[in-house]
Chain A
């Protein structure tokens, strides 16, 4: 089965930088996704990594190390609207038709 771990909660200050970590174990790694989910809403796509390294998209960046089974999402210049849950999800070609398996999510609270 899958094992995806990320912190349950984090708190950061408006304007600061925060890093949300995710570790995973898969047999047939086929990509890692980060989703943002505001309370009461559906998840929305943030980033995708399949090769090692950093992917930057505006204020958000995502890093992947396949050898370490590790990823992080970096949020810069935090805004109040960034308060949400951040979901790490992995595609595994050996599991469930290559569907995404999600971690439990990290609830980020941004304070003034």
Chain B
């Protein structure tokens, strides 16, 4: 059971480059989300999706795009990387938004923008 799979695990980008962080889950979860984690700031929600074809912005969406063409996949695109986007990125999924359902996290993607 793979759970939530993120790739790549590590990436170094130059300022202005674009890239896509991949996220896939095999649990048939409807809800998927992307968080970034910076030192001392906990996890902040970037974008989320409540089902295929539906996405919405979280707390810190600027500079990122998402799409949800299938239930399984939820890629995060950096359009023009900036040093402020250096962070650890976590993809997460949950079956739905019922209060008791826990969230499953991917292993994280460490991104450095130079």
Contact = CB atoms under 8 A, between A and B. Distances in A.
Indicate the size class of the contact surface on chain A: 20 to 34
A33 B107 CA distance: 19
Contacts of B33: 99
Interface stretch (B69-77, B79-87, B98-106): B98-106
A104 B90 contact: no
A97 B97 CA distance: 8
Interface residues of B, number: 24
Contacts of B105: 42-44
A96 B59 contact: yes
B100 A41 contact: no
B93 to A, nearest CB: 11
Interface in A52-72: none
A99 B58 contact: yes
5 contacts: A1-B59, A8-B40, A31-B100, A43-B43, A50-B99
